[in-house]
Structure 1
Amino acid sequence: MKVKVVVHNHWDREWFTSSEVTSKWLKEVFFRVKELVQKNPEFVYVLDGQTAAVEDLLVYHPDLEEDLRELVRSGRLLVGPYYIQIDWRIPGEASILKNFEIGEKDTNRFGRRMNAGWLLDSFGHISQEPQLHRIFGIEKVFLWRGISFENDGISQEFFWKGSDGTAVQGVFLVGGYRNLYNLKETRDIAEKRLKHEVEKLAKFSRSGEILLLDGYDIDLSPEDPKDYLNVEIVSPEEFPERFPEDAPTLSGELLSGRYACVFPGTLSTRAYLKLESDLVERLLKMNDLLSVLNGEELSDLFWRDYLKTLAHDNSCGVCADHVHEKMERTYRNVYFLVKSSVESRLRHLVERSGLEKGTYALSLSPFSYNHHFCDGERTFLLKTNGAGLFKTEVADEKKEVKELTWENEYYRAYFEGDGTLVLNNRKAGVLKLFKEDGDAYTTSVEETDFSISLEKMRTVLQTKHSMVVELERTIRSSQCLIETKERVIFDETPLVKWRIALKIKGKNYKLSMVYETGSGEIFAKMPFDVVKRKEKDSYLLPETPPEELKGILLAARETGEVREFPFQGFVSVWSEESSKTILARGLREYWMEEGKVHVTLSRSVEWIAKEVKNRVGDAGPMMYVPGAKCEGVFTVDLAFMELPVHPRSEEFFRWYLLFDNPPLLLDVEADGTEKEKTFFFSSLPWAGVKDRYHLWVYNPYLEEIEGLRPLQIGEKSIESLSEKQCFVSRLNILNFPEFPVVSVEKNPEGEVIEFLKETLSSLEDEITNLEGKDDPRSKHRLFSLLRTKKEIELSLQYLIDVEKTARELNELRMKRRTYDYVVELFESEERE
């Protein structure tokens, strides 16, 4: 059995501290790698598969660029293929594509790309990752979280087949990504560690090779394992030498926490950030489209700032408060910059379209429509022929209102006395509150007593074609006080649009909006796919794993069952030839229970990590984060829809895309003669702009459409408009999307601060008792306590030097993680 080692660094550029701190540490990592290469020309180092780390290094040390290029070109320092280590469940399609594109651009600049997918710590994987990697020329990926094998038939090598049938080679990091880490601290038992890991993992190899990893999170002192062991260092591209043809096949999305946590709670942690992120991505995507229609080259300047907020710990909401506050500043800044850019490019586009004076709908959906559409403030005829600019008129208001009911060709709806909407005899818009006892990583809810009072319900807009009802509700419980202002929008489309502004005070709650769909097949929109799922995942190991896996699974795992799943856009229940669908922009978590779909609006916690039910093992730092309570004011957009068509049909997507890309209304003063301008028409959703001449598109349907087989990702040609055709003296966007968050408060509580100080004092006593003891268990416990101490000190950052404490915490995390493996080795020897 051959032993191969990959030396790497999982660079969490932001987590318990910000990139302003970690970027300063990159210089010493770089010089250490350079030193190791000079000493051993065969040394290879993987810088976490993301070029953003290189970018961070050069921001502070541009003088290092030539040395860096030399290391990259020689294959000694491996960078890419991505720009940032995103969480694949949360970012939208445009961001996923742009992450590949910018990563490819950066690696071209530096002279070489690592030609393997490096996905060590992603919290689960979407079904289209195999196809996406193949599109960008990558045929092999390395994964850890999310994987499970039937009957625990674990294999280090496997084939991963995506939802469209595209397959890549996969390498499962069975023992995690740090099983040979920190040999310099354990040199006396280095041979023992190696032998033990080989004995544990040999049975999982089908290639005759075992992969071990020497590296960890933010490792500031890389080492050459050949200084301590007779092993071969390889790049991920070289492992294994021959991929076994009899390797098992895993299919579709990989979201299991059976062997390592995928942390489903992160789908709803700091939901306000996900709302901000989603809007900014939509605007960036729109800005790209307007740019190419105007014949301009694409710029990635805004995208780079934005994509850095999608690093998996950032977008999952599990960082320290000051990191997330920085994210908010980035989102607001990019929002206003892109808004200005969109306004300018729209003016140029109207000039190129030669439009006459009037009101126009800018539709970004590639489908045609001929319905009156209401945005909550105005109602207008949306008569389009694909994506483009189409003249319209705003409907006059009609003041007489007899009853709060609405009926069109798709549904009949009315309100009950408590504000509940009944849509085709099914309740929708129901608010449900739970007590939350989880942390930033994991949700753990139970029923709680709460009350909802309807403060106001009235019609605020009525035309022949639409009605808008305003609700105000108050939710009270021992955990929180939540006040809502809601607008429910009815028009001629099948969409019942629902905008809810939440003003929240309190903590440790979970608020969901419910649609009583009844039971049926569950379909969830995900990037480039509509996946079919079960209600829950019960294929998880107990807290104490089987004996044959005990020494293997040293990381945190989910136990019991998981009911929370990711979605992007909609969750639909298909039964009796009808789809009942709840749609949402920016929200990412749903669960199904007793024929009801819950979409999480907000989830409040106070700790990055603590002891939580249905999770075993060490998840993350014990840090107090009052910002995660989500106290503040923010707005969410949802909708409900019932159609007699399948969720993977063109008619369904026609209406979903109208919700996903609602038209903008433009007031134009111009001297042209045209009443409309179509940019493109298609049945395929467009996912982003590839270059000046092509859009990214995909086929979500059950049959081949426009040359794309089901679930295939492809491209569609697009042409820029001709030169200026008219003069525009005025252009106002009447309904530009508002930034969804008004404010989020971070209010540390005195009693929690006192608890942290008392905990520090008690930790000191136990630390004193352990100092000087040399056995592995005592050392492991000592490093655990010292790490917790630094985590608490960092929580109390207003009292101490943040950067110094962050570094001390990082060093203790490294030492403690090393002793996970040392203690397991020690215990295995005791059992023999």
Structure 2
Amino acid sequence: MDSSKKTAHIISHSHWDREWYLPFETHRHLLVKLMDTLLDTIESDPSFRSFHLDGQTIILDDYLAIRPEQQERLARHIREGRLIIGPWYVLQDEFLTSSEANVRNLQYGHRDAAKYGEEVVCKIGYFPDSFGNMGQAPQLLLQAGIDTAVFGRGVTPTGFNNSVGDAGEYESPYSEMMWKSPDGSSVLGILFANWYCNGMEVPVDPEQAKAYWDSRLDKAEKFASTPHLLFMNGCDHQPLQTDLTEAIRTAERLYPDTRFVHSSFEEYVQAVKATMPERLSVIEGELRSQRTEGWYTLVNTASARVYLKQMNHKVQTLLEKAAEPLAVFAASLGHPYPSHWLEYGWKTLMQNHPHDSICGCSVDEVHREMVTRFEKSGQVAENVIAESLQTITGHIDTSAFAGDGAAGESAFPFTVFNTSGWERKGTVSVELTVGHSYFSEGAPDRLARELGALPLPTGLLVDENGRPVLHTLDDLGVQFGYDLPDDKFRQPYMGRRIRLTFHSGAVPALGYRTYAWVTGQAAHTAAAAEAVAGEKVTAGERTLENRYLKVEIEGDGSLTVTEKRTGRIYAGLGVYEDTGDIGNEYIYKQSADGSVWTTEGCAADIRLTEDTGYRAAIEIVHRIKLPASADERLEAEIAGMVPFTSRKACRSSATVPMELRLIVELEANGKGVRLLSSFDNKAKDHRLRMLFPTDSRSSVHYADSIFEVARRDNEPSAEWKNPSNCQHQHAFASVHDETSGLTVANRGLQEYELVRDGRSTIAVTLVRSVAELGDWGVFLTPEAQCLRPCTAELYVIPHDGGGEEPAFSAYAEAYKYQIPWQTIQIRPDMTEAGRELADRHLLPASLSFLQWSGAGMAFSSLKLNEQTGDWMARWYNMGKRGTELSFRMNAVIGAESAYRSGILEDAGAELAAENGAELTAGGCEIVTVGIRPASVSR
């Protein structure tokens, strides 16, 4: 075959947005019709060689849920290579889903594909319509045995309606390039330079086909570095072209010097690799279309329907940072690892991760269903957590709390779990039942009266060493409760409940610490206060101070924070900013009047609301009026499909009241200031942000991204025309220069901007309200106005400057901030269950299950390999320089051996060491280690 001969590779597909401008079930109705037609076509036309199922295995689940009788028929064509599946479970938005969610997506996609055969998974990193691509994708793909990525955005300018423009300076002259991760991992990158529909609806009629192919061949050759030209035969929800074989024959007759092949990605990529230039352009890191006019990067999907991002953050965190590691610990003590529940929880969550779903850029019906999925996935995570906690605490030795012959019922032990990768201190709240009577003992109303009439006994909170702990007690009264035993019917009771809030002291990483409420003893408040004398916060009417920070509340509610060790002062923090928004779910566009409202200089109501010694808080309230909406012009512009860049709508003269309530908290040991903002959003067509001036002299800043702390320029490229330059974040955004730095962490607020205001201000979006979906039609989305009670949680951390290393400790604080404490009361019936196992694996009152150290390393996850029972632990290097990572198992569990692994959890090089190991992590490397625990029966 002449390798220089032009070859048109026609790949049949349909880009399947699971839900978007129509709700899921309507899209599925179309999917079933497509799949039925596809199966019939494959069987009736031997020349229809293959169909690419959009890189996501969830399509199979969605189809078979309606057509289960097609299972074997479908499987046969997958095994024969005519239906090409994987490698993902869903086509996710990479930036709005966590690092581990991206990994689970690849893991479950591979597992689903493997059900149909060992070699059927498509080893192509498929990103057809991601709104930008994560910088660590090449490293992740290589660890999964994938050396080629195909993507639609992020390098050359792609228009809003999926059209391609010719203007602008491209990072690569070709659609083929080398894409390199920060660690140096490199894959072949192939851009859909003419989008993923450039071969759709190929004409059969010769006259039409001639015009079609003259244009399409020319456009493909314009970008191709080889004679192999890619034509994607399909588009969004595109029905199957059943006469494609005939259309290809027409093209062959018209262009005898060009080969037309009904191809696959495997065949096309092999041909490209065999003929591509020796040197291609190298693109590095994140693909975010920075060298474009900036309107169509679609980054403002990070602030569309913020409540969805917050729900996603909560559930993701519960699954990967609590349910999984706690289930690992429980499995090492004999409890079955709940892989089936975790898979169900993850898959239910990931059904919300396609880009049109998690991005909040669909019709309202889609996002209502998402809320239910978040709730279901969260319930799964909570159930796994509860069972795991019960198992673990059933092995904890609580005999120390009985002390001096005190009656067992006078001590109420409980355990606080820290599932982050770092030792942690902070304020913890736990609810305890300190007396209860089962319904079998009498009528519920009588039991309630009797329990309520009893005086609450005095008591003392102590740690595992018997030292008093400063705390606050709230009597919650008598409440209904119930047990659900494994071996009998439900056991309802009335219980006397209290809430203890206290300073935890140091709780070990990936471990726990046990405390007890001991009744019948004097509450030695003075002794408890003395125990935390070095970890104390003091408060005034407008000041909060601990040994690290001093916080002053100005008259307008802004914060002035002094980092006491260096004396560095950060002023004007926490100001609200509000502007009009006449864009859509994809894109923020400020109203034509350009009006900006802020709380700067506006008097606020300020009062001290908490002062316990271990925590203090000040409440700040602004009562304001905002424009009720855009003016009437916006409605007409939307209905008339006026491009958003040409809209002239301003903000309405009518106003609505809003109350902005901000709680400012400082903990005794806190290295940052916690902010909790709450408001009832009554305004439409606007964006509300909180501002954090850093006054940094740096030209770059940093943001938590997928397995990396991404370095980004403060100034966009010369081609950038958009007045706004918003970006994605996960845990934090950070700015630091040679002398100081400021890191602003958040929980589920995924849009920020480094404002070019001369102060290097970090602006975090709290809510964005818009009226329409946008894109190719008129789809009104009244619920995207987010007219609802809203909350926003942030954590402001001042720190040293002088390079990346001084910021690592602040980043660790930000990561810890994401993860909720887990608490559980240890009840006597728990400690009786599984006594034989508990006797063999009796746990101390304080323990770290997995200890590790490594400068600049961030802990990411701990889960079990379901096939081998091995612990799979993952870290990533936040810095560019190599570093040493060491880890050690606790003595109770122990480790037989350990090995290097990857994101698909395969066994690599052995790491020989007793109960732990040491290894070198390269700069920006993602490190996965498999640990064979000694306590697991093999």
Match of 1:568, as an amino acid? H
Who is 2:595 aligned against? 448
Q: Which has the larger radius of gyration?
A: 2
Q: Distance in 2 between matches of 1:718 and 1:665?
A: 27
Greater helix share, 1 or 2?
A: 1
| 1:419 is aligned to 2:557 | yes
Who is 1:79 aligned against? 85
Who is 2:687 aligned against? 510
The 5 A counterparts of 1:37-52 are 37-38=42-43, 39-41=45-47, 43-52=49-58
1:32 Cα offset (Å): 2.2
Who is 2:574 aligned against? 429
Please point out which of 743, 756, 763 is paired with 1:598. Answer: 763
8 Å CA contact 1:410–1:642 kept in 2: the answer is no
Please point out which of 323, 329, 343 is paired with 1:287. Answer: 323
- CA deviations over 1:435-472 (Å, ceiling 9, x no partner): 11110110112543546566642222213332122233
1:651 Cα offset (Å): 2.2
1:114 Cα offset (Å): 1.0
**SS at structure 2 position matched to 1:506:** coil
Who is 2:378 aligned against? 335
**SS at structure 2 position matched to 1:202:** helix
Who is 1:489 aligned against? 665
Q: Distance in 2 between matches of 1:65 and 1:482?
A: 55
- CA deviations over 1:145-199 (Å, ceiling 9, x no partner): 1114994352021110011110111111111111121125877412321121112
The 5 A counterparts of 1:397-412 are 402-412=540-550
| 1:652 is aligned to 2:810 | yes
Match of 2:16, as an amino acid? W
| 1:97 is aligned to 2:103 | yes
Who is 1:500 aligned against? 677
| 1:5 is aligned to 2:10 | yes
- After alignment, is 184-193 or 81-90 more displaced? 184-193
| 1:525 is aligned to 2:704 | yes
Change (3 A) 1:224 1:238: farther
Q: Distance in 1 between matches of 2:767 and 2:283?
A: 33
Change (3 A) 1:206 1:80: same
- After alignment, is 125-134 or 657-666 more displaced? 657-666
The 5 A counterparts of 1:369-388 are 369=424, 371-373=425-427, 378-388=501-511
- CA deviations over 1:202-228 (Å, ceiling 9, x no partner): 132212211111101111233453311
Who is 2:150 aligned against? 142
| 1:711 is aligned to 2:888 | no
| 1:628 is aligned to 2:784 | yes
Q: Distance in 1 between matches of 2:426 and 2:141?
A: 41
| 1:316 is aligned to 2:359 | yes
- After alignment, is 124-133 or 710-719 more displaced? 710-719
Please point out which of 1, 6, 30 is paired with 1:25. Answer: 30
Match of 1:6, as an amino acid? I
Q: Distance in 2 between matches of 1:89 and 1:252?
A: 13
Q: Distance in 2 between matches of 1:31 and 1:187?
A: 29
1:579 Cα offset (Å): 1.7
1:41 Cα offset (Å): 4.2
- After alignment, is 561-570 or 622-631 more displaced? 561-570
Change (3 A) 1:205 1:673: closer
Please point out which of 120, 124, 137 is paired with 2:132. Answer: 124
Note the residue ranges of structure 2 that are not aligned, 5 or more in a row. 1-5, 158-167, 253-259, 400-411, 430-471, 473-499, 518-524, 530-535, 563-568, 629-655, 832-841, 886-919
Identity %: 22
Change (3 A) 1:42 1:625: closer
Please point out which of 461, 464, 467 is paired with 2:613. Answer: 464
**SS at structure 2 position matched to 1:3:** strand
1:351 Cα offset (Å): 1.4
Change (3 A) 1:2 1:184: closer
1:677 Cα offset (Å): 1.9
| 1:247 is aligned to 2:280 | yes
**SS at structure 2 position matched to 1:346:** helix
8 Å CA contact 1:537–1:562 kept in 2: the answer is no
Q: Distance in 1 between matches of 2:206 and 2:38?
A: 20
The 5 A counterparts of 1:554-573 are 560=722, 562-573=724-735
Who is 1:365 aligned against? 420
Q: Distance in 2 between matches of 1:674 and 1:364?
A: 17
**SS at structure 2 position matched to 1:314:** helix
8 Å CA contact 1:428–1:516 kept in 2: the answer is yes
Q: Distance in 2 between matches of 1:530 and 1:474?
A: 37
Who is 1:439 aligned against? 584
**SS at structure 1 position matched to 2:358:** helix
- After alignment, is 336-345 or 324-333 more displaced? 336-345
Change (3 A) 1:498 1:402: closer
Q: Distance in 2 between matches of 1:372 and 1:269?
A: 32
Q: Distance in 1 between matches of 2:62 and 2:657?
A: 42
The 5 A counterparts of 1:736-751 are none
1:302 Cα offset (Å): 1.2
1:525 Cα offset (Å): 0.8
1:359 Cα offset (Å): 4.1
TM-score by length of 2: 0.70
1:253 Cα offset (Å): 0.2
1:321 Cα offset (Å): 0.3
Who is 1:173 aligned against? 192
Who is 1:266 aligned against? 301
Change (3 A) 1:665 1:485: farther
Match of 2:859, as an amino acid? W
The 5 A counterparts of 1:538-557 are 538-540=717-719
Q: Distance in 1 between matches of 2:707 and 2:382?
A: 26
Match of 2:421, as an amino acid? P
| 1:674 is aligned to 2:836 | no
Who is 2:794 aligned against? 638
8 Å CA contact 1:536–1:562 kept in 2: the answer is no
Larger RCO (alpha carbons 8 Å, 6+ apart): 1
8 Å CA contact 1:23–1:60 kept in 2: the answer is no
Q: Distance in 2 between matches of 1:600 and 1:305?
A: 27
Match of 2:505, as an amino acid? L
Who is 2:879 aligned against? 701
Q: Distance in 1 between matches of 2:789 and 2:198?
A: 45
1:650 Cα offset (Å): 4.1
Q: Distance in 1 between matches of 2:662 and 2:705?
A: 27
| 1:115 is aligned to 2:123 | yes
Change (3 A) 1:384 1:323: same
Who is 2:266 aligned against? 237
Match of 1:654, as an amino acid? A
Give the CA RMSD over aligned residues.
Answer: 2.7
Q: Distance in 2 between matches of 1:264 and 1:459?
A: 38
Who is 1:546 aligned against? none
TM-score by length of 1: 0.79
Q: Distance in 2 between matches of 1:636 and 1:530?
A: 23
Who is 1:582 aligned against? 744
Q: Distance in 1 between matches of 2:206 and 2:417?
A: 66
Q: Distance in 1 between matches of 2:220 and 2:770?
A: 38
8 Å CA contact 1:522–1:572 kept in 2: the answer is yes
Number of residue-to-residue matches in the alignment:
697
1:665 Cα offset (Å): 4.1
1:578 Cα offset (Å): 1.9
Change (3 A) 1:131 1:217: same
Q: Distance in 1 between matches of 2:390 and 2:83?
A: 46
Q: Distance in 1 between matches of 2:686 and 2:84?
A: 44
**SS at structure 2 position matched to 1:191:** helix
- CA deviations over 1:663-684 (Å, ceiling 9, x no partner): 3344434568832121212244
